[in-house]
Amino acid sequence: MAPHKKTPTGTKRTKVPATQSSPEANAQQVYETVRVALHLARSKTVAAVNAAMVEAYWEIGRKIAEAVGNRAEYGKRLLHFLSGQLTTEFGKGFTPRNLWHMRQFYEAFPNMHALRAQLSWTHYRLLMRVPDAERRNWYMNEAADEGWSSRQLDRQINTAFYDRLLATRKAEQREELKAEIQTSRPVTKADDVLKDPYVLEFLDISSNAAIHEKDLEQKLIDRLQDFLLELGKGFALSLRDRSTLLRIRSTSTSTSCSTTTSSNASCSSI
């Protein structure tokens, strides 16, 4: 049996105290978790408004295009009629010119399933200026894949980025050219989708209105539901299937919102 070893005289075993965070450090940690949760909620709101606005305007453009066909004079009367009715019910954003842009949007992108959900209505307004379909689709996909803001997309189109990239042979130079936009036109707070004038028009909110962002986001969600339901029950339900539309997490709990609404659509002809 091995002899028992005694602790040398004069030495004591001491416990190392556990490191304790200061109240200030704990508060900062809580702030960071709350901040992440709010950014997540905000990104979901942005995803919802992008998807809903783009699909709604594409659907409006389709309805107008199919109703008008090649009847130019009838098309002008129809646009003015729709503009008056929609402006009375939904506010700004439905001028005859804007409705014409919606028809142009449908004609430029006839396949709704090929649209990129990452892009806003402002992106698509810029893309519609590109006359060549191949270039237009390339810019759409590149903007979505690279996460370009609308200002970045505008610059890339105006500087013929597609042609410059095509003319660049070496892979290293192509990567440098692709990275150039992040320094020449970096993303700023001005690129915030929730401050986009088209979004504010869609919500019937003045761009100069003093409104808190959390109130703006809630009004955005409420407005989306009402507007989409007016377009038709089937269309609204197809959009509500998207996981981003009405599912926003709070800082400590997950809330799932399910709204069942029935609407009676009425159609009038001119």
Q: Quick check: is 99 in a domain? A: yes
**How would residue 180 be classed by pLDDT, with cut points 50, 70 and 90?**
confident
Dump pLDDT digits (tens) for 143-162: 999 888 888 899 889 988 88
Q: Quick check: is 57 in a domain? A: yes
Q: Quick check: is 140 in a domain? A: yes
Dump pLDDT digits (tens) for 200-252: 666 565 555 445 555 555 666 666 556 556 555 444 444 444 444 434 333 33
Q: Does residue 253 carry a pLDDT above 90? A: no
Q: Quick check: is 10 in a domain? A: no
State the chain's mean pLDDT as an integer: 73
Q: Quick check: is 47 in a domain? A: yes
- Residue 173's pLDDT is what? 67
Tell me the CA distances in angstroms from 115 to 65, 141, 194, 264, one per residue in order: 18, 9, 21, 29
84 close to 122: Cβ distance less than 8 angstroms: no
Contacts of 47 (CB under 8 A, 6+ apart): 117, 244
pTM for this model (two decimals): 0.62
Q: Does residue 267 carry a pLDDT above 60? A: no
DSSP annotation of 16 reads: P
* 102: containing domain: 31-185+212-240
Q: Quick check: is 198 in a domain? A: no
Find tokens 């237009």 and name the residue: 136
Q: How many domains does the chain have?
A: 1
Q: Quick check: is 22 in a domain? A: no
Helix (H, G, I), strand (E, B) or coil at 208: coil
CA-derived radius of gyration, the chain: 27
Q: Quick check: is 250 in a domain? A: no
Q: Which of 179, 139, 177, 174 is nearest to 158 (CA)?
A: 139
